[in-house]
Amino acid sequence: MKRLAVVACVFSALMFLGFTAVGPVLADKIKVGIVLPLTGKLAKFGEIENKSFLMAVDEINAAGGVNGKQIDLIIEDTTGKPDVGRSAIEKLISQDKVIVVGGGYSSSVTWATIAVAQQRKMPFLVNTGSADRITEQGWKYIFRLNPPVSEYPKAFGSFLEDVAKDVKTVAILHENSLFGQSGSKKFVKKCKKMGLEVLIKEGYEAGAIDFKPLLVKVKAKNPDLVYMISYIMDASLLMRQSKELNFNPKLFVGGAAGFTLPEFHKNAGSASDYVFSATLWTPSVPYPGARQYYDKFVAKYNTPTEYHGAEAYAGMYVIADALKRAKTLTPEGVKEALAATDMMTAFGPVKFISYGKKTQQNRLPTFLVQWINGKLETVWPKDVSTRKYVYPVPNWNQR
Amino acid sequence: MEVFLQTLVSGILKGGLYGLIGMGMSLIMGVMGIINLAHGALMMVGMYITFACFTYAGIDPYLTIFISMPSLFLLGMLIQKYTLNPLMEVESILPENQVLMTVGIAMVLTEVARFVFSSDYKSVRTSYSGDTFFIGDISFSVALVAAFFIALAFTLCMFWFLLKTDLGRSIRATAQDKDAALLMGVNSKRITILTFGLGSALVAAAGTILMPVYYLFPDIGGPFTRKAFVITILGGLGSTVGAIFGGLTLGLAEAFGATYIGMAYDDMIGLLIFILVLLFIPGGFKRLLKV
Amino acid sequence: MRKYSPILLLFILILFPIAVRDHYHQHLMILVLMWVVIGSGWNVIAGYTGQVSFGDAAFFGTGAYTAGLFVTKLGISAWWGMLFGGIAAMAIAFPFGWICFRLRGAYFALATLALNEVMRHIATIWESLTDGMVGILVMQTFVSKVPYYYIALGLAVISVIGVQIIMGSKWGYYFVSIREDQDAAESLGINTHYYKMLSLNVAAFLTGMAGALFMNYMGFIDPEVVFSLHDISIMAILVGIVGGVGTLYGPVVGAFVMVAVHEFFRTGFFGFFKGIAALTGSDMITVFAKYVMQAHVLGFGILVVLVILLLPNGIVGDWNLIVKKIFPVKTREVTS
């Protein structure tokens, strides 16, 4: 028994050291907690956000921090699972004693963590979780920077009304994810409102090898508009195979981020030409700092970033701004300060307002972008466009 | 009509590829009687080898077969020799320990891949990745057609190998009756090691020829493992021709399911066929065709 | 000593939330207790009856969805799901077992795996009922973790005692005889199909209740979370084999070890490396700490491989082996 006891004692002593060692070194810093999926299936996006948070906090600290105090960012891995996300935020609140939490990423993890935040009276700034009901609970400690999924196709709607008036029939393809399922439902409603006929609406499991059976079926129905909610690789496969099948609707429109990333163009090649996409953010949006953020990120990490990164980067600045204005550096003080936020970020203007069923929700415009000659151009709304849209789109064999 | 034909072509082309994925699993299951749940993970390793060779050395993806297959052959042999074979001697309550072991191996392989290559999507884009040709109104993707014929060639090679060579005969003998084979002087341990290597090499080949049209990330293995065992059960254990039939059946079922029922039901159709075959044709096609 | 240790353990567990006020550790213990329930369920069908299930998530998810749908569709409390979740899981297990128990060994395992995936697809596609990937959201009843803790503890105690009673009865002997030799059991006149069904339904009931607890406690479920092959089904197997298949306290030990190991890796040995890095200011240790934290699933995988190779019957099952390895002297005294 003795040997085991010795081993156990040494071990627990080491652990205790681990617990306490961090304490004194960081005593005069402001602790901010972030929960992100750094491992597991969602790690790719978690990593982009992680880098953006770190980049933003480095900039803020280098510029003198918050009223002379440095921010200490404590990033916890959620592994993309709600129960682990919950462990992570409980640890941040109980052990690390942070005064504000951000991040969350996927809607399921975000939900599990904000429920804890609200109960424990800890301000939480959601920057990515896009399920509508996150801000529909009337929770006073939860703020959301990004628009909910239902608002993504806003700009596209006005484009249909003003420019593409000859579009009458619609086909909707979506991945069976939260984003795909709720986004497609909202789009069906929107189509009904605008008097468009939905010929087919079909979900698929992300990661298919071959979309041809689905695409020939859609092609046979001959829709004017194909609206797709897909992530990069499915998106590029859908476009490549549409080209292979010589399928020519009047418009191909992407309803999610998959269609705006450089990897989409790289993988789809010429099949990405003239594809439209609804988006919240690209480096070319008319916000101060958007392009700089992109360039700085690429220079620092040598890999492209996307709108998730911009959300995280802006989120960090919003938190820092609230910390600056907070009357007391307590969760309560930060919550009051966050509620009064009114600032400009690389992701757009941030102000937490109530509208519809939502409370403390930031309202942002959305954009329509189009791939023209291998470049992603903002084409709608007109007043912020970087280039005139190409419509009608030429057929595949006439290019 | 066009819809029907295009679906048929898609199903057949995909089915050939599935056959190659299933063949390795079929051999392993036939000889050792264990379900290799690391099958998809082994395919993922093969795909990463192709990706690395293409990206860093500029080797054409189809040529990397000559690198990915031997590497996976070796990896498979090591896995069998040092992790699965020792289990045969260990006293344990559950005979399925070997299956559980393959789960552990799959986790290790996946996480090592994530460590080395991160979770990012990787792809191999060659000048001919998007090429197509038309017969009538039906479009054929060049890469998938190539994949189909390579898969077919592998099947014929394997068929010949199992039928005509001494080693192949020993493998078949072990698959049919392990104890009898042992009595006839077959070194069954050596056979299991070789079979696992062979199975791994075959699925690596499948991964390599899929690379030009598909993409890659560490978690890609899961769905393919599932497809592989469905194909194996459909085709019958240890049968190469059965694997091709199983692959084609699954490919066609998925394609027609996607066109006439709905693409969301893709996976479910495969799994339901699987359960039905398990229950009603326990030997798979092998039993029906006697090959 | 051996006789009283379960009572001692129960006593410690009852006092735990009073002694440890920290929400974080309370949360971890709730997870441990939940896994005790799932692990016990798995142990009944796989450990005792020898029918390895790769599809526990099908029952777990059914239980969770039953609880969730009670709120969204019927407007009654999700706590009813604790009972009906188990029953709903049995309603899935019954026809499945009826059809698939003619399969043996590895084939049955594959069929459960297929069931897992089919259930996940159904929950994803049947949007009008389940809301698909949007998931189900329920308000938590209690702010404090203590009520959840005691409910989870109650459930865990019920499942361990339940398994003990079942295994001590006639059923238990039949279960084990099926595991040891199904044909022999059959020839002795045991209706193996019937007893396998019983065993599966017990497992499904326990797992379903755990699912309902998860719904109540986490407040949010979607198909990817509760029907996850990797995070639920495989994890259940790991809890079972790490603790010890076919042992009463195996799942208890397994659940504790698995949750602890998971958290241990995820936090980088509870901030140990970070602490060292901050003390010494060494970048190398910071980088190393990052790798350690990222490697938690890898750590899991290696743990599984090692446990199967070295302790094929788990920690509890091979306890004597472990004791012998660590204290060679003492055991010699005992044996001599």
* pLDDT tens-digit readout, B217-231: 888 888 899 889 889
> Is the model's pLDDT at A380 over the cut of 60?
yes
% of chain A with per-residue pLDDT over 90 = 34
What's the first-to-final CA gap in chain A, in angstroms?
80
C305: distance to nearest CA of chain B, Å?
Answer: 6
Name the residue with higher pLDDT: A196 or C139: A196
Q: Least CA distance to A233: which residue of chain B?
A: B215
Q: Is residue A10 part of a domain?
A: no
Strands, E, within chain B: which ranges?
122-123, 132-135, 138-141, 215-216
Same domain, A259 and A374: yes
pLDDT at residue number B268 = 85
Same domain, A345 and A215: no
The Cα-based distances of C160 to A8, C112, C151 in angstroms read 28, 24, 14
Give Cα B187 to chain centroid, integer Å.
25
List the Cα angle C82/C83/C85 in 5-degree steps. Answer: 70
What would the pLDDT profile of C267-319 be if each residue is shown by its tens digit? 766 667 667 766 776 667 767 766 776 677 787 788 888 888 888 788 888 88
- CATH number for the domain spanning A303: value is 3.40.50.2300
- List of chain C residues with pLDDT < 50: 331-336
Query: How much is the average pLDDT of A233-262?
Result: 87
Domain map (residue ranges) of chain C: 23-245, 267-336
Q: Is residue A342 part of a domain?
A: yes
What's the first-to-final CA gap in chain C, in angstroms?
21
Residue A287, SS3 per DSSP: coil
Q: Is residue A15 part of a domain?
A: no
Same domain, A382 and A267: yes
Alpha carbons within 13 angstroms on the beta-carbon side of residue A257 total 16
Of A19, A21, A94, the CB nearest to C279: A21
Q: Is residue A17 part of a domain?
A: no
Q: How confident is the model at residue B267 (pLDDT cuts 50, 70, 90)?
A: confident
Query: How much is the average pLDDT of B188-199?
Result: 88
Decide if A17 touches C, using CB distance below 8 A: yes
Instruction: Please say whether the beta carbons of C16 and C152 come within 8 A.
Output: no
Number of compact structural domains in chain A:
2
DSSP C11-50: HHHHHHHHH---HHHHHHHHHHHHHHHHHHHHIIIIIIT-
Q: Is residue A19 part of a domain?
A: no
Closest CA to A104 of A62, A70, A143: A143
Contacts by A54-61, CB closer than 8 A, 24 or more apart? A55/A296, A55/A297, A55/A300, A55/A313, A56/A312, A56/A313, A56/A316, A56/A317, A56/A320, A57/A32, A57/A316, A57/A320, A60/A316, A60/A317, A60/A320
A257 backbone φψ class: left, alpha, beta (φ>0; ψ -120 to 50) = alpha
- CATH number for the domain spanning B90: value is 1.10.3470
Number of compact structural domains in chain B:
1
Hey, are the CB atoms on A18 and C270 less than 8 Å from each other? yes
How far apart are the C-alpha atoms of B224 and A298, rounded to whole Å?
35
Domain membership of residue A38 as a residue range: 27-148+288-362
For A300, the token pair is 């620092």
Same domain, A142 and A243: no
How many other C-beta atoms can be found within 10 angstroms of the C-beta atom of residue B187?
13
> Is the model's pLDDT at A19 over the cut of 50?
no
pLDDT at residue number C282 = 66
For A182, the token pair is 């709720």
What does the DSSP 8-state code read for residue C190?
-
Same domain, A99 and A236: no
- How would you list the strands of the sheet with A225-229, edge to edge? A197-204, A169-175, A225-229, A251-254, A276-279, A367-372, A375-380
Give Cα A133 to chain centroid, integer Å.
16
What's the first-to-final CA gap in chain B, in angstroms?
34
Neighbours of chain A (3+ CB pairs under 8 A): B, C
Same domain, A271 and A377: yes
Give Cα A362 to chain centroid, integer Å.
14
Q: Least CA distance to B211: which residue of chain A?
A: A209
pLDDT at residue number C130 = 86
ipTM for the whole complex: 0.85
How many other C-beta atoms can be found within 10 angstroms of the C-beta atom of residue A269?
17
A3: distance to nearest CA of chain C, Å?
Answer: 8
Residues 200-229 of A with CB under 8 A from C: 203, 205
Burial class (CB in 10 A: 0-12, 13-18, 19+), A327: exposed
Beta-carbon contacts of C28 under 8 Å, excluding residues fewer than 6 positions away, are: A87, C259, C260, C263
pTM: 0.88
Domain membership of residue B193 as a residue range: 2-289
Q: Least CA distance to A219: which residue of chain B?
A: B3
How far apart are the C-alpha atoms of A102 and C42, rounded to whole Å?
37
